[in-house]
A = this chain, B = another copy of it.
Amino acid sequence: MNRFTEKMNAVVEKLAQPQSCRDLFREYNEGAPLPSAKVLEEIIELVRSIMFPGYYGNCNVNTGTLRFHLGVNIERLYTLLIKQIQAGLSFADYRDVAVYAAYNKQTVITELFRMATARAEAFIERLPEMRRILATDVKAAYDGDPAAKNFGEIISCYPIIKVLTIYRMAHILWELEVPLIPRMLTELAHSETGVDIHPGAQIGEYFTIDHGTGVVIGETTIIGNNVKLYQGVTLGAKSFPLDADGNPIKGILRHPIIEDDVIIYSNASILGRITIGKGAVIGSNVSISHDIPAGTTVTQK
């Protein structure tokens, strides 16, 4: 054993100490790996190919074969979702390793599998409605950008459609109380496009964001129909109350309400549980932390 091997063994020893890895070490429970970012990416691709056949997934699809492709893709989506949702459900309980061991492990797995299957099924059933809403988003992106040549260009390369496809599926999973996965999905969209929409946010139809990089939409945000944002816009929290121990209280309504027909220009920051009234226009680089009446235009002084 040479000199470095000795040093290395010492480093291994330090890093394996409980006090070093506590909280940062996820111990393996049979049947309970983490949801996989790689599989979630495949799931996103499947949803895109179901929403926009011919643009994503196999391009050799025509009217006569569309059902075959939808069938195969939806079946695979369902199979992958069950496994990932089961992983997410396991994760949510990860601190209860002791409890886990006390119960019959297989009973827990069986129950999680049953729950995951029900949620995957519910997700599949919401796909047609999800496509109906995405069609309004595609139209909003087209109507809102003079540079857009046709719907196909929007669908195949606009980041907003990539983000909204992921956000809308993540939001459905959020409503179905699937843990962790909705957040992992929107972080994948965040990394790809620079747009960070929390899966808990509620967003109406015919919504669009131009360019997108730097946009943040917080967990308790509510957005109406026909709203348009530009790059760099923040719909964020201003501050949040702490509990007796000094920890932030979870679940407080702390992000804005944006009513129908609002436009918010680049780099504006809208902070706190305030309301931007119907039809208001917020100029670029403005920072706002109080209600704005309907129909008002606010610009940088």
Contact = CB atoms under 8 A, between A and B. Distances in A.
Contacts of A274: none
A52 B24 contact: yes
Given A20-B128, A249-B146, A214 B236 contact: no
B266 A53 contact: no
B190 A16 contact: no
A200 interface: yes
A74 B28 contact: no
A26 to B, nearest CB: 3
Contacts of A67: 12-13, 16, 68, 71
A256 interface: no
Interface in A45-63: 50-55, 58-63
A66 interface: yes
Interface string A147-173: 101111101111100000000000000
Interface of A: 1-2, 4-9, 11-16, 20-21, 23-28, 33-34, 50-55, 58-72, 74-76, 78-79, 91-92, 94-95, 106, 110, 113, 121, 124-125, 127-128, 131-132, 134-135, 138-139, 143-147, 149-153, 155-159, 179-180, 183-184, 187, 190-194, 196, 198, 200, 211-214, 216, 218-219, 230-232, 234, 236-237, 240, 247-252, 254, 265-269, 271, 283-287, 299-301
